[in-house]
Structure 1
């Protein structure tokens, strides 16, 4: 059925009603809405929210980004090797098309392996910027993950970064991490040397 009524003039609302409308959005919907245009991005950035931070897990073939609030997990973005065509949308971030499938507050991110770092970095930067929240923690699982150090600069402002693996990181790799991250960042290396 086709509607003959004009579209709702969302952008013509005064700030307080617009803020109230956007606060009723789910976290994932806000993130999606912010990718529609520069204006949408600015509006989402100006919206007050109750999100407290982002937690990240990253390993050889997988990453997850979890947006938390005082009420718990609000939205989860995770990489997926399974490629679906149902309910798929594309976001343009940092010049890359990012294929997303959202179900409730869980979003699967599909990407070609050669674009993994760029897409991960773009998604983290975008979520942190528009929701204006800190990266609370990052957990790296380093087993069979040769290039994990390439991801450290994109999460260097995290409050806590942990590295877990079957073998200890070299002293040189540990020093590289210490030199790149925020000095207030709590670092954990397991196993210890």
Structure 2
């Protein structure tokens, strides 16, 4: 019984909605469509700054005469190049750090035309032979305990071999001499 009453209620709601739709459709005064007001297009403002083909300046007249309209080789004039960006003010760049300012000679090997040197540059030990380069500096000569390095843009530099610390010997001289003597037989 409940099922019939629920189904009958749904049919009644459906019929009421159908009648309302039919009344709205047949009653013309209830829903009158109003067309919107026409808006006239403004072509002048749309074409004001447009660069259209066919619109030539008076300065282009001589080019048009030289290349007639129906000539196969005729082309549109090239667009003017864009303006160049303004140059940024140049700031002087700091001079590059010279690697030999803090370089030390750790060792020198020289034998006639061959030779090598061990340099400590930025905390690293580097070995250079005559004619080799490091950071733009070229080893040109070895003279005793000093070396000469050259650079294309800077004056020659001479570095000397120096001890880091002059430490006294660990063992006193007398004890060292006694240790070196062979034991004497008694």
TM-score range, shorter chain: under 0.3
Question: Larger % of strand: which?
Answer: 1
Rg (Cα) greater in structure: 2
RCO (CA 8 Å, sep 6+): is it higher in 1 or 2?
1
TM-score of the aligned structures, taking structure 1 as reference length: 0.23
TM-score of the aligned structures, taking structure 2 as reference length: 0.24
Question: Larger % of helix: which?
Answer: 1
